Amino acid sequence: MEASNNDEKTNTNILERSEFGVQLKILRINDQIRELQTIIRDKQTSRGDFVFYADRLIRLVVEEGLNQLPYTNCVVTTPTGQPFDGIQFAKGNCGVSIMRSGEAMEHGLRDCCRSIRIGKILVKSNDDTGEAKVFYAKFPSDIHNRKVLLMYPILNSGNTVIQAVRVLREHGVKDSNIILLTLFCTPHGVRAVINKARDITILTSEVHTTTPNHFGTKYFGTD
């Protein structure tokens, strides 16, 4: 489900769907991204190919997620002795993966930020009621002072992410300091999360009425 031009605001790399406001950011679609989405959705894709192409899409989302983090100006000296006006990440960023599928995104984050600290949250949903409950959470002790890249590849109902955000709040994290990195999400899931956390940022490659919910089992080979 793609929005019309009247419903989108654009910049170089991302789109913003006006119905969700500036909280939702979508990677600008191109042939590469569409192919990756197609391979991940294809039931004929082998697990080896699935992991390879999923990792590529994860990397694209993570790279754009890093663009949402604050930078500071700096000056470095080149090998020829010339000063160069550059930028560097502001200190105080971390990742948090929602287990288990969110752990698939950790490698992509570490490929970009080798020393970044990563916390974990385990949320399980009741098969009958769909109610999500937190079973485990481990974060850096100073997470309340950090920007958080919350990693969860499939945003469907939004219940799991809402519970994860609740736990982060309990540890002093402001909604405005949470950036949800997800590969695929539904309009319903986006609305549910935004309604509960109006200052959160959601970054995804696609908003569609159906999502590849087999992602976690396929990626980890438990299907």
SS3 content of the chain, % helix, strand, coil (to 5): 40, 30, 30
Q: What is the amino acid identity at position 200?
A: I
pLDDT tens column, 139-189: 999 999 999 999 999 999 999 999 999 999 999 999 999 999 999 999 999
Look at residues 195, 202, 189, 201 and name the one whose alpha carbon lies nearest to residue 159. 189
Of the ranges 23-37, 49-63, 111-125, 137-151, which one carries the lowest mean pLDDT score?
111-125
**165: exposed, middle or buried (C-beta count within 10 Å: 0-12, 13-18, 19+)?**
buried
d(CA 2, CA 40): 18
pLDDT at position 11: 52
Q: Is the pTM of this model over 0.85?
A: yes
Residue 5 predicted with pLDDT over 90:
no
- pLDDT per residue as tens digits for the range 17-28: 667 888 999 999
**Mean pLDDT value across residues 38-55:** 97
Crossing angle between the packed helical segments 187-196 and 159-170, to the nearest 10 degrees:
20
